[in-house]
Amino acid sequence: MTGKAPRSSPSIGVGMVGYAFMGAAHSQAWRSAGRFFDLPLAPTMTALCGRDAGAAAAAAQRMGWASVETDWKRLVTRDDVHLVDICTPGDTHAEIAIAALEAGKHVLCEKPLANTVAEGEAMATAAAAADERGVRSMVGFNYRRVPAIALARKLVAAGRVGEVRHVRAQYLQDWIVDPAFPLVWRLQKERAGSGALGDVGAHIIDLAQHVVGSAITGVAGLTETFVRERPMPAASTGLSGSGAGGRGEVTVDDAALFLARFAGGAVGSFEATRFATGRKNALRLEINGSDGSLAFDFESMNELQFHDRAEDAETAGFRRILVTEPIHPYGEAWWPPGHGLGYEHTFIHEVVDLVTAIGAQRSPVPSFADGLQVQRVLAAVEQSAAADSCWQTIEERAR
């Protein structure tokens, strides 16, 4: 899979909605994927969509998009757009994705899939109907594409840790510890759906289920908001709010913790917070099994810790696997062993997997149904927190 996309490869025109943090990451992925991987379709960065024409035009020029739209409804009807990439706040995901699928466009939608289970169900239904027509959709859980995580899933599936018994998952950040940090859209429930729970908790829910290969069937959780009011952001930031001055209510959680059971019998503990002072992007996953354990921390993203219980007790212990060999997932396309990858590569791998699936006429993963399963877990945690941490059962459904 190494090398540039063949010049004879047919193109796939991409239209992206949104151009902030995720838009920049996705743009780099669309620019780079065909330069390092052989793809069946050559991505063309056709159009960038944003409400502010001037700002969108500047972003398009900076990030390499050929044209600009200010109305996503125009974007999804363009004949030269074959795939719509949704990098907007969660309150817009359902409307854009469903319209794009009905217009015959493939869809990549950022996580979490939606703001509510009802929206997620509508999206999953539309995606299933579109898939029957050969129109594909995928949720952007980019951390699945970390080579060490992909290796962890492979080792679990191969039985290297035996029967999975305990899962520990954390996502620790500290970017809103300062009470003077403004009331951005991620702190407003009507736009974000939830706080740390949906923003970063969605990632560890998806990763745990993905690596273990088993769905979460029940949870007991609690949430907390530590700073309940924040200053309104300046209008010039392009974020929510009516301008500089004044304060507004934080309507989402700052931290969420919950216990979980998996369909396969394992138990789990989860922690998602944006108040872990000193932790910048500590996504951690540990899998304890009957025959061994695996441990991962994104702040050392090129490493996987592995313990084999069968080893001699005198020298047994966790050992460090540097996941940079050509035989490791995605490794053959990149640098010599030991030359590590970074955050941006997860999005490149995401694009590679999506375009490869579209070219092979098969359904990519994670699907909208997978995203809906995560949405059901998020909703159950919120319901449990609102009911004094009472246990909430999540109905098992075919995905």
- Give per-residue pLDDT as tens, 291-313: 999 999 999 999 999 999 999 99
Please check the confidence at residue 332 and state whether its pLDDT lies above 80.
Answer: yes
Tell me if domain 11-142 and domain 144-393 are identical in fold: no
pLDDT of amino acid 395: 85
| pLDDT per position as a tens digit, 339-349 | 999 999 999 99
Rounded to 10 degrees, what is the CA torsion of 235, 255, 344, 358? -100
Residue 374's nearest CA partner among 97, 25, 141 is 141
Average pLDDT, the chain: 95
pLDDT of amino acid 396: 74
Name the CATH superfamily, with its identifier, for domain 144-393: Dihydrodipicolinate Reductase; domain 2 (3.30.360.10)
Domain boundaries, the chain: 11-142, 144-393
Please check the confidence at residue 7 and state whether its pLDDT lies above 60.
Answer: no
pLDDT of amino acid 316: 94
Does domain 11-142 sit in CATH 3.40.50.720?
A: yes
Q: What percentage of residues in the chain have a pLDDT greater than 90?
A: 93
Of all residues in the chain, what percent are helix, strand and coil, respectively (each to 5)? 35, 25, 40
Please check the confidence at residue 183 and state whether its pLDDT lies above 70.
Answer: yes
Q: Which two structure tokens, joined as six digits, stand for 38?
A: 């052989």
* Average pLDDT of the segment spanning 324-333: 98
- Distance set, CA 345 to CA 29, 36, 92, 138 (Å): 8, 11, 26, 18
* Average pLDDT of the segment spanning 67-94: 98
pLDDT of amino acid 250: 98
| pLDDT per position as a tens digit, 221-271 | 999 999 999 999 986 334 444 445 799 999 999 999 999 999 999 999 999
Please check the confidence at residue 359 and state whether its pLDDT lies above 90.
Answer: yes
**Which single residue is written with the structure tokens 């840790």?**
161
pLDDT of amino acid 243: 44
